[in-house]
Amino acid sequence: MKKSTIIGWSFIFVAGLWLATGCATSTLDPVVPQTADSINSRDDIKWGYSLSEGLKIAKENNKPVMVDFFASWCGPCRLMDSRVYSNDAVVRSSWGVIPVKIDADEKPGTLSKYGVTALPTVIFLTSSGQEISRITGLMPAEGMIQRIEQSIAAEAARY
């Protein structure tokens, strides 16, 4: 058999396999530029961007506050957004807390107030603003769920 015939049949075989396994079709959503409105319209964590407002809402609802300190240039922060905060179980767990994101570049005073020296840092606070626990660095989704549940239990124990 000629080399060109073998290459042709190989191509046809690979193309058929590609189509048969579904690789030619995608069930993923098309890439759409994200804005604050589009991010909060999906089933993602509904982040607030004011710690004082988050604490006020927490006090009214007897819920703890989950404060995510991040920066746009921080690679691990982006990984937390794409791999942890987008996890369905983490999103469901976040319904029991008041989630707040603080941009390190915009609020350096808040970072120093809470002793944040590395990003990402997530601090769980009671509704009265007292620290329950903190995470520095990457945390897998299962660990984040556990920390959220611990903060909910700590808040409930106050009453």
Residues catalogued as catalytic? 74, 77
89 in Cβ contact with 57 (< 8 Å) = no
131 forms beta bridges with 125
Burial class of residue 148, CB neighbours in 10 A (0-12, 13-18, 19+): buried
C-alpha span between 99 and 118 (Å, rounded): 19
Report angle CA 37, 40, 41 to the nearest 5 degrees: 80
C-alpha span between 28 and 91 (Å, rounded): 19
